[in-house]
Every structure is written in structure tokens, then in C-alpha cells.
Amino acid sequence: MLEVTPIDEGWILRHDGAALPATVPGCVHTDLLAAGIIPDPFLGRNETDVAWVGRRDWTYETTLSPIPGGHEQTDLVFDGLDTAAEIRLDGQLLGSVRNMHRSHRFDITGLGGRLSVNFRSAYGEAEAVRGRLGERPNAYPEPFQYIRKMACSFGWDWGPTLVTAGIWKRVRLEHWSTARIARVRPVVTVEQGVGRVELHVDVERTRVEAGLTLGARIGGVRAEATVDGTSGVVRLEVPDVELWWPRGYGEQPLYDVELWLSHEGLLDIWRRRIGFRSVELDRGADEHGSGFTFVVNGERLFARGVNWIPDDVLPSRITRERYRTRLTQAADAGVDLVRVWGGGIYESEDFYDACDELGLLVWQDFPFACAAYPEEQPLRGEVEAEARENVVRLMPHPSLVLWNGNNENLWGFKDWGWEQRLAGDSWGEGYYLGLLPRVVAELDPTRPYTPGSPWSGSWDRHPNDPAHGTHHSWEVWNREDYADYRLHVPRFVAEFGWQAPPAYATLRRALPDEELAPDSPGMLHHQKADDGNGKLVRGLARHFPVPEQGFSEGDFDRWHYLTQVNQARAVAAGIEHWRSHWPVCAGTIVWQLNDCWPVTSWAAIDGDGREKPLYHELKRLYADRLLTLQPRGGGLVLAVINQATEPWKGRLTLRRMSVEGGVVAEAGVGFDAGARAVSDVRVPRELEPVGPKEFLVADADPGSDEGGGGGGLRALYFPMPDREVPYPRPRFDVSVSPGGERVTVTAHTLVRDLLLQADRLDPSVSADRGLVTLLPGERVTIGVRGWETLDHLDAETARSALYCVEPAR
């Protein structure tokens, strides 16, 4: 029987002649941090002070204990090495590696002694490859496309430049005899309630003459097969299987699969969990263009998505618990699809396990982003090897529903001047339109593949054509106001977003000694986007009064609040518009769910795990049922969006109101939205608000909840930007429950976008809701959780952490 010996203790890191204790899995940065050699790169401007780490070569060493007898072969297995390294055992070269995204195996039978892993600087490796293959264009000034490594290690417009090295995944010895299971490729299908599993097995042998048997079971179903040379296939049929569904559409039953290899006894065993479901991608042509609609178990979905980046720029620190926490936050916000973005990594099994259990669909990018990638050796062979390994590794997971060739590279070739600069040099097209679809078709025929995001399906059209395939909407934010989201109805919006700073407590931790201002040195260092603060201020100026000289130190709290409000409103403008056009538009994927360090960014959850107002707004925007008022056809339409399994019908109350609180006009209307459908209700002309002093309120009556979840929903429409609205000075009462677990606010005037920034009360505290608008006489109760240092909260203290839109100064 195969035996495993972990090698996770006794490692040292060589540094300037000294031997530092090293943690494996880990990386150079985490070991230097633990030894006190470098400061925390997430604090202040320390990132700059530790830049030298990425330019150095590093060596990890340990001693292998005597290898026990009784086995014919011993392999040294690295699940992940970051990135370019030579592996030596007692001075003998075992091999050289150059790919963070692959595992590596070496036969060390009969060997032992001092094990060393000598890492070359990723800069040195990338620059050497660039020197051999020539320059290629890139959206960022770092050479990440010349090395198979997490691209955002080299910095991004939301990430620091911390170029890592180290043994970032598990390392172990495997002792075995006769044969072992080298690879299992599970092809899982379901038809008419019968689940079919084909386990395509590759074996490695020490003895060619040995007869080998494969056996497998799923529940009470068992099957056997013989190994022909070095491969075999075990087929199982499981009757009456329960289907795996994305969250909101059904349950997520998972089945344990066990496969064993035997010869006069058990030799090796392989275990995974699978789910039975079908997935298709409808890209058919229609009168609107060509679509991009996920179909799971025959059910057409509007995908409610978020983009995922590595949750830490030092990815070896991401634990199973951290994955679970972050993905549970996504599910709790109504998300049903997570796109693993192409500038990061293939995530660990812990990530996909959590998605399987939570019912989160996974769109997996291959790791290519925002650059022209050479297709010559040594890169081409590495790309194919990593693709083959990771496609097979991730195949068991029912949550995985799409392979995507790259992020923005097809678009970049067309629009970013690459074609002229390349002058015929390779740039990745052969990967995205040739190699990768061939690998997916060969190994994983049950899942769709798309060459890139965005991609319109053909070079005959612009790659980012909103009428065809996937679309990235970045004119909004970069140049245009978020109201311009309403100018187009893309078939599927795979990226869009708006920036905001992280929570106040996150900023205070990251910039502990700084007088905070929008343009203070630390704030600017933790703003990586090109002209990011300028875009924030210009975005605010379209909606709110902005001081002529910009925001000063004394205005920081106001700037911080308003930028977070603007982020939530911008994303809401897009999602409400696009959801109201289902099924023409079949999905939105917000950029982005998470951050990898404390930074001003597009994230809904900041680098310390705190939820921004955008996060809470997503709960409303991605709920099964949503009301939204949309200017359309020269008037107003109330779109009743019902993504629930049951029809939704009932009554709506429409109130045309003045900002002083009076009702100008009122009417009740009926609505009837079918299951997974949108129903438009035309707002009568006499109820349309006029001028800056009026707005419209649409409420679903409490009884409008046939099928559940519909009563009490509200939509608001203000025809003018806030800077033109003569808001009354907000007046409200605040009360606090004993112990401080609940804060209740009662409005005496219109209170627009009230927000309790609970982390200002204590860094450990959070609120259970975000922005809320109250009409005169209405109240809201906000849950407060996480107290550590305080056991009570009074009304005045709570009031100090409450913010809302104020009248123009």
C-alpha cells in the first residue's frame, strides 16, 4: 500500500549566510516576516521597502530522514513550487522547474540526505526568457507574461508588488511498490435520473508483468476493470441520483467516489466527491445578437456573479477556513457564480469544495491576463502541462461550469495597439483558440470552453461587442458616469465596477501613524489604479457637491462616506438595468468580491475582510426578487424582477413625494411576474416626479408575497443628482438596546442613504446592513455584532458613527 510521509518540518531559509526557521508550505516573505527581517508590507509604504526580496535568489533546505525499507520506489512530490527552482538531494540535481501552477515528482529511491530547493528570482527568470523571446506588450510594466507564475504577484491596479518565492504547497515522500495511481480523470454525466461515471485511470508501474485490477464504488454501486498496460477505465451507473443545483435553484447533494488499485492486495486508493448535473452554454444567435446563457440541468440562469482574485497576495496564508468565510459571504449576498480571474491562480481544493457545498458556480480562467504571452518554448510546454494537470484535478467538482482561455488578451490585441507592436510575433492566440480548447475537449468534454473574456465569438466582430458573448464595461468608471450603464444591454457583463476605499478601521490599521486625507501619502500608496483618486472625485462631482479645491484632511470622513455610497449606487445602476432586461442579458459579474491587501479598490469586501456598503447592496441587488424604476421610452417603468421558482403577483403602491416628506400623488397598481421572469409596469405620467424636489417611491404591499420573499420590497427613483436636490437637514432619533446589539434609527425627515460605520465604534464590530433610505416616520433597526472591548453602547456614541447624505453646503 502506498505510504505518505509529509516533509513539513525542519526547513530552513538561507539569508545572508544565516539559517532562518522556515515554514512549509509558505514563502520567503512570510518567513522573513516571522524572523523580523522585514516589516509588514501591508502597512504604510513598507511595500517599497521590501521590494528587494523579489530580486534575490533564495534557498530552502532540510534533511530527509532515512527512508524506510519495504517499498520498491520512493518519490519526492512537490504540490507547488513558486516558481523557478533547482532541486538537489545531497548535491545531486534532481531537476529544474519553472511553473508555479504545476506539481512536480522526482524518483529518489535509494537516495537521502540534505534536500535543497534553490529558487531563482522570478525577475531573473522572466527577464532571461524575455531576452530570448523578445519584448511583448503588457498592460503593466512588469515581466509577468514570461514566467508561469501568479501574475498579480508583480502588482496590479488593486494589488501590491510582492514577488514571492518558496514552497507554497505541500511537499511529501510517497513510498510504493508494484504500481500506483498516477491520474484519475472522472467524466461525470447524468441522463433521465441515471448518473454515469467513467473513471479514466493512468497508473505508474515498477513491475510490468504484474496483473492489476481497478475497483470503484459510489454508495452501493460497485464496478471493476483490469489495467491494460498503464491505463484502465471503470464505469459505474448510479440510478435515481439527486441533481446538484446552484444555490437558489435546489440542493447540492454530493456523492463519495472511491477508486482502488490492487495486485495481490491493495496498492493505492483515490477518493473524491462528485455531483451529478448537466451544464450547457447557450451561445445561439437571435434578433439581439448572440447570447451567453448558462443552462444547468435544463434551467436557464441569470448569473449573479462576482469576480474573485487571490484572497492574499501571499497565497500560502489562505486557509480552508478563510476560503469558507469569504465564499460564505458571497453566498449570503445572493451570489451564485464566482469567476476565478486569470491574473491569479488555480485555487486549492478547499476553494472548490466550499463552492460545491454552497452551490456557487465556478467560472475558471486559465492564468493569462492583460498581456501578450509568447507561445515558444520554454513557455508552451509548461502551459500545456499545467492545463492538463489542472483540468483533470478540478474535474470532480460539480460547481465548475466553464473554462475560460484568458482575461482581456483578445481585446488587448484588437484595441490596445498590440497588433502593430507585435509585428507578427506570437502573443497567445494559439493558446486561446488552439491549445486550450483542444485540451478541454480531450480531457473534460462535459464542460464548455470560451476563448476569453471579453469575447464576441468571432474575429469578424469586435471582441468586446456588447451584442455578442461576454462584455467588459470599463468606459464607465474610467471615463463615463454610471448612468451610462443604461445605454447598452450586453448579453453578459463579465466585468464592471466602481472603486471605493476600504472600511475606516482597515485604513487605520494599514496607516496607523497617518493623518488620513484622500491624498495623504499612505492613502495614495494604497491606491494602485491609474488616476484612481481623480476618477473617484470626478465620479462624485457628477452627483454630489465637491469642494473646488478638492477634499482636505478635515473632509476625509465625508469623502470616505460619499465614495462608498457612490460605489454602491454605481453597481446598483448597472445590475438593476441589466437584470431588468433578462433574458437578453443573462448575467452580471461584479468586479470584484475581495481584496488581497488593504487598498482602495472595486472590492465589496476589503483586504481585512470587512464588508463595504457595496456588499450589503449586493444582497438587495442579487435577491431572487427585486423592484427597480427605470427611465425607458420617454417615461418610467417599474421592472418587477422575479428569479424565484414561484410566480410573484400582488399590488404595488406608487407615491410621488416631495423631499420635505409630503405625498404629491399616489396610486396602487397590480403586477404579475412569472417564475424566472421580469414584468414591466408602466408608471402613470401623473406619478412621474418633476424637478429636483420630487422623487418616486414604489412599495410592494406586505401581502404581495405569494411564493415568499416579495412583500416589503421598495424601489426609489430620484430624477436629479443629489447635488441639485434641496434635501432638508436630516433629523432622526437614535436608540440602543442593552448591550449594544441593536441600534434603532427613527427618521423625522427624509434620510437618504443612512449608514452605520460600526467599525468606527470598535475595529471588531460590524453592522448587519448597509445603506438605507428612510421616509419621515420610518425606522430601521441595525444589528451590531462582534463586541470585544466594549460591553455597551449609548445613543450618542452610536450617532457619531451614523452617516447620511447631507444638504449642499
Q: How many CB atoms lie within 10 A of CB 121?
A: 18
Sign for the pseudo-dihedral over CA of 338, 344, 348, 349: positive
Reported as type and span, the H/E element at residue 393 is helix 379-394
Residue 488 contacts residue 466 (beta carbons within 8 Å) = yes
Cis peptide before 684 (omega within 30 of 0): no
- Cα–Cα distance measured from residue 707 to residue 666, given in angstroms and rounded to the nearest whole number: 27
- Cα–Cα distance measured from residue 136 to residue 143, given in angstroms and rounded to the nearest whole number: 9
For residue 361, give every residue at least 6 positions away whose Cβ sits within 8 Å of its Cβ, in sequence order, or none: 246, 294, 296, 303, 305, 336, 337, 338, 355, 399, 401
List the grid coordinates of 744: 434603532
Smallest Cα–Cα separation from 751: which of 627, 618, 565? 565
408 noted as active-site residue: yes
- Choose, from 47, 125, 375, 408, the residue flagged as catalytic: 408
Strands 113-119 and 58-64, by their bridges, are antiparallel
Based on the number of CB atoms within 10 Å of its own CB, is 141 exposed (0-12), middle (13-18) or buried (19 or more)? exposed
Name the DSSP class of 70.
Answer: S
- Cα–Cα distance measured from residue 595 to residue 114, given in angstroms and rounded to the nearest whole number: 39
3-class DSSP string for 496-540? CCCCECCCHHHHHHHCCCCCCCCCCHHHHHCCCCCCHHHHHHHHH
Strands 303-308 and 587-590, by their bridges, are parallel
List the grid coordinates of 478: 474610467
- Cα–Cα distance measured from residue 7 to residue 14, given in angstroms and rounded to the nearest whole number: 18
Sign for the pseudo-dihedral over CA of 457, 461, 465, 466: negative
Mind giving me the DSSP string for 637-675? Answer: EEEEEE-SSS-EEEEEEEEEEETTS-EEEEEEEEEEE-T
Residue 503 contacts residue 481 (beta carbons within 8 Å) = no
Q: Phi/psi at 330 (nearest 5 deg)?
A: -60, -50
CA-to-CA separations, 669 to 412, 624, 684, in angstroms, rounded: 48, 21, 10
Separate counts of helices (H) and strands (E) for the chain: 17, 44
Angle at 66 between CA 60 and CA 72, to 5 degrees: 110
Angle between the 556-579 and 613-621 helix axes, to the nearest 10 degrees? 20
List the grid coordinates of 355: 463552492
3-class DSSP string for 695-754? EEEEEECCCCCCCCCCCCCEEEECCCCHHHCCCCCCCEEEEECCCCCEEEEEECCCEEEE
- Cα–Cα distance measured from residue 274 to residue 390, given in angstroms and rounded to the nearest whole number: 16
Name the DSSP class of 398.
Answer: T
- Cα–Cα distance measured from residue 383 to residue 366, given in angstroms and rounded to the nearest whole number: 9
Cis peptide before 592 (omega within 30 of 0): yes
Smallest Cα–Cα separation from 397: which of 353, 435, 458, 438? 353
Query: What's the alpha-carbon Rg for the chain, to the nearest Å?
Result: 28
Angle at 282 between CA 278 and CA 284, to 5 degrees: 150
Q: Which residues are catalytic?
A: 408
